[in-house]
Structure 1
């Protein structure tokens, strides 16, 4: 009767295991690098879109008509002799001048004027600050 595992078969199995183990690490690195390349290509596509948007914005800002439109819309600038009315709809979601974090729907000049008024008033008495005394001569 012949043995089930000959020495040739054992050497062949050992060589196949060695080849498999020697190829496993490079194959894993290849797959990881392909994944990283795909991710970087996606990031590059997003950045190219962003660059295109910024270039369009730069072109818009060099246009006098666009700058005038932005000044009229966002800053409420006007030509001499024009009357500008700002209508605030309390029910409207989009006022165009909302603070980025959504705290207030006030226009920039309303916030400025309110801050000037708040700076002029004191709500609490100030203790511990001595009154000004004239300097001796």
Structure 2
């Protein structure tokens, strides 16, 4: 009997020891998980801090980049407008190289006539008092007509 109780005791003792070991292992594995979790939490916090720092550090240069891109686009639009204006000026220069165009412009704007042609000037009846001042304009020198025009423009109607 004594042998049986010792076997029982030793079995109970073994079971208790196994339970204690198992509990120690469980405790150690929980501690390791907590350490891992805290490491992951620390790593995640560090990663978040690095990302926030990058966002803050890159915000101003990105704003400058976008601003400069819009400035470049505006400059390109201005250059395109200048090219179009240049093309118009080249076309106008080419027209002025044509003697027929020059003659047309002289006839239209300067009232030139060819030799042998008679030029007529129509007086606007709605001009009122100006009509009387222009009656002798053809007989006077051109510079007198210019000064009369300046005097007429300066006059105030009281």
Pair in the same fold by TM > 0.5: yes
Structure 2: gaps (5+ residues): 1-33, 127-140, 152-158
Residue in structure 2 matched with residue 69 of structure 1 by the alignment: 104
Q: CA deviation at 1:110?
A: 8.2
Q: Please, which runs of 5 or more residues in structure 1 have no aligned partner?
A: 92-108, 120-137
Q: Distance in 1 between matches of 2:125 and 2:76?
A: 46
Count of aligned pairs: 102
Change (3 A) 1:118 1:57: closer
How far apart in 2 are the matches of 1:90 and 1:44?
49
Superposition TM-score, scaled by structure 1 size? 0.60
> What is the CA–CA distance in structure 2 between the aligned matches of 1:78 and 1:43, rounded to whole Å?
43
Q: 1:87 aligns with which of 122, 135, 142?
A: 122
Name which one, 1 or 2, has greater alpha-carbon Rg.
2
- The structure with the largest helix share of the pair is 2
4+ long deviations beyond 2 Å: 5-10, 86-91, 109-112, 116-119
Return the match for 2:147 from 115, 124, 134.
Answer: 115
Higher RCO, Cα 8 Å, sep 6+ = 1
In the alignment, what sits opposite 1:20?
Answer: 55
Q: Please name the residue that 1:55 is paired with.
A: 90
* Alignment deviations for residues 48-101 of structure 1 (CA, whole Å, 9 cap, x no partner): 11101100111111111111111111001111211112335578xxxxxxxxxx
* Structure 2 equivalent of residue 43 of structure 1: 78
